[in-house]
Amino acid sequence: MNQNLARKRVALLSIFGLVVSLMFMLTAQSASAITWPQPIADTYPHQVYTHGDGSVTLAECASQSYTNKTVRTLNPAGDVTNNVAKSTASDQWQTSGCEGKAAAAKDGTFYAQRYKYTAGYQDIELAAYKNNVVLWSAAVQICSSGSLTGDPRWVTVGTDGDIYAVMAGQCASPDKLVGFSASDGSIKFSISLNNDVYNQPYYWPLLNVYSGGLTMLDGTTLRYFNYDGSTAGAPADYAFSLAGGESVVATAVGSSGRMYVAISGTTGCSAKTDRIAYHDPSGTSGSTNVLNECVSTSVLRAMPDGGILIQEQGEYPRILRYSSTGVLVYSTALWSVSGYGNVWVAWPQVDAKGNVVIVRSAQEGGSDYDRHTFVSTVSFTGALTPVFDTTAFDTPDTTEVFRYTSGERFGMASGIFYLPICKDTCSIANPVKLYKISITGLTMDYPRSDALSAQTVELNYVALGDSFSSGEGVPGTLGFIDGTDTSTDQCHRSRDAYPMLLDRDSSLNLNLQSFRACSGATTQSMIQGMNTENGQLDSLSQDTEVVTLTIGGNDVDFGNFVAACLVPGTGGCAEGTQVYDSTMYAIDNLLPSLLADAYGAIQTELDGNYDVKVYVVGYPYVVRGHAAQCELTIGTDEQQAAEAITVALNQAIADAVVTLGDQNNRFTYIDPLLSTSPFEGHDWCGMSPYFNGYEPLSYPSQPEVYIGHPNSEGQNAYERLIATVIS
């Protein structure tokens, strides 16, 4: 990959920096509701998952009884890039975003359990979603009868970028630890566990990623694995010693591989925690965090410094932090919030610097009995600082509930905290809304932050342009991407368009953050918007690193010109015809200024982003003046005219890039007409054309709008052409 494209993102952390971030850097700035394109008629809970590329996924964890979108992913610009539909039909796939059953990858891919019923039994898979496409799905058989396939539990993304999960079965057969390739879902390994984990609470992270590989709490035995499933060279297994009647009630693992377990007591502490035990990969073990009282532990959070955060629930909840050596750092009461007593729940989250954010739900006294959600940061000394609450949404003299819908984990990203809230029962009238809260100094949640940062750096990629980039003419077996083939939106984005192919090319390390190319787009509509969509340039940001686009063809009516060449009875396209003259006039006299405006608008959107590369791609020959085999349908004069128009169009585009004179050399023209181009010899008159032509006798009939557009081979040729330049 080009060195000036791959920016190094190295995080340097010192003890001084950690203390400063804990004491001073967590400052609330603002909160605003992200407006969804349509209401989300769901019940709670909704889980929030942040990706390493700045995108965020809101996924439902509820029953099948609602017809809605169960998974939505938004890129940093706020565009909905993934919109997974849900059906009420039991024999259709349902996607579950429950905590522990889903994971967010660095490149915006969302991995989740999905299931359907066949003959009364569940078929269960792990599926990968991105850009409205199911990239792959994989099932692992556990049982020999009934529901055969395993239920994905503790889905996690490794530092190698691959996916790992425990596949738990509803039978006596052993559950399995399974590794999946992120590229295609193929199974890397499958290991039978010694203990049944199906009935364990799935929000306990029994499977974890650490700097050396994987950890798994198998019963009370801590096991370590390499990413190929082997144990060679991995730390030895360790069995936590539990007395009679004791049990593990919560777990946490940090990046070092140290596992903490909360152990319930027996005498006087039944079902409550009285000690915290730990074990390191080095072999060091202990239970130095011995509590002096019974604690109703609900959550453990590993701290970046090796310590542990304990969330106590109950009538008088507290948050306790211990150092790595078992010293109590602070114990902070949580049962009162701004005059609101009776705290119902409290959930903490830790970021990569050790910053702590806590969400609480508390009930008001008096006549209203409102229940509100409160967000606070916790300082190094345990002091609470309010940053956001829902009291401003209150209607006086009315009993209302403003629910936090996510559960134990919520979304944290660089400087941003995501909070899903709904009113009362969460319905069409009171939909779930995602609040984006700015908190200076906040980073991604720990230890997932370390796992994602260790993965290969991917370049944030945005695809702009017209139908040649959207994939018009390549609907595929599943049709165009959801929402782009409706009565109000005919952008016709294809799962097999070259931007999607570039994203799937593992050799390029591109992350398609936003696919905005739209069939019919002109230079003006690319800026201003069309088909009820905002302008495409809204998807550009300071984090954008690669941009591709084809634009200008619709400004000169290139599509109609090509159709006149290919479709009999249209009058043809030879030099001297009206369609030829008008197209050539537009290329010579109108297009240069239109392209200058479009490229200038892109420059403006990317002002200050000096590392981005914008690849302006030309239009290949649809018809050339060299093929005798086409003379019966496309005359020699028309072939020559088509070649002349294509050459002139591409020259105008190339000249506009040069004229732009971008001082940082961010714009590059990619020429599809070169003799070395993958399109060479594959125009409509070639032996194996890469374009849709006029085929009136084909069945099923081909929409006329596809005529002249690249077919699947043509989109693959575009991918190869662009990949050669940017690799």
- State pLDDT tens for residues 77-99: 777 788 776 666 666 888 888 88
Report whether pLDDT(157) > 90.
Answer: yes
Tokens of 330: 């602070």
- State pLDDT tens for residues 277-307: 899 998 988 875 556 566 676 688 999 999 9
pLDDT for res 701: 45
b (16+ CB within 10 A) / e for 357-377 = bbbbbbbbeeeeebbbbbbbb
pLDDT for res 134: 87
Q: What does pLDDT average to over the chain?
A: 83
Which is higher by pLDDT, 659 or 455? 659
pLDDT for res 100: 85
d(CA 415, CA 26): 9
Nearest to 485 by CA among 474, 501, 499: 474
pLDDT for res 629: 59
**What is the 3-state secondary structure of 298-355?**
EEEEECCCCCEEEEECCCCCEEEEECCCCCEEEEEECCCECCECCEEEEEEEEECCCC
Cβ neighbours of 34 (radius 10 Å): 16
User: Could you tell me the CA-to-CA distances from 372 to 26, 88, 479, 698 in Å, in that order?
Assistant: 22, 32, 44, 62
Report whether pLDDT(136) > 80.
Answer: yes
- The sign of the dihedral angle between the CA atoms of 486, 491, 496, 502 is negative
pLDDT for res 2: 42
pLDDT for res 316: 76
- State pLDDT tens for residues 377-425: 998 899 999 988 888 887 766 667 777 676 667 889 988 888 888 787 7
- State pLDDT tens for residues 242-289: 877 778 878 899 999 999 988 877 666 666 777 788 999 989 888 755
pTM above 0.85, yes or no: no
pLDDT for res 37: 37
pLDDT for res 595: 98
Report whether pLDDT(215) > 70.
Answer: yes
CATH, range 464-726: 3.40.50.1110
**Residue reference for tokens 């010192």:** 14
Q: What confidence category does residue 664 fall into, taking pLDDT thresholds of 50, 70 and 90? A: confident
d(CA 248, CA 15): 32
- State pLDDT tens for residues 37-69: 343 444 556 788 999 888 889 888 755 444 556
In the chain, domain spans? 464-726
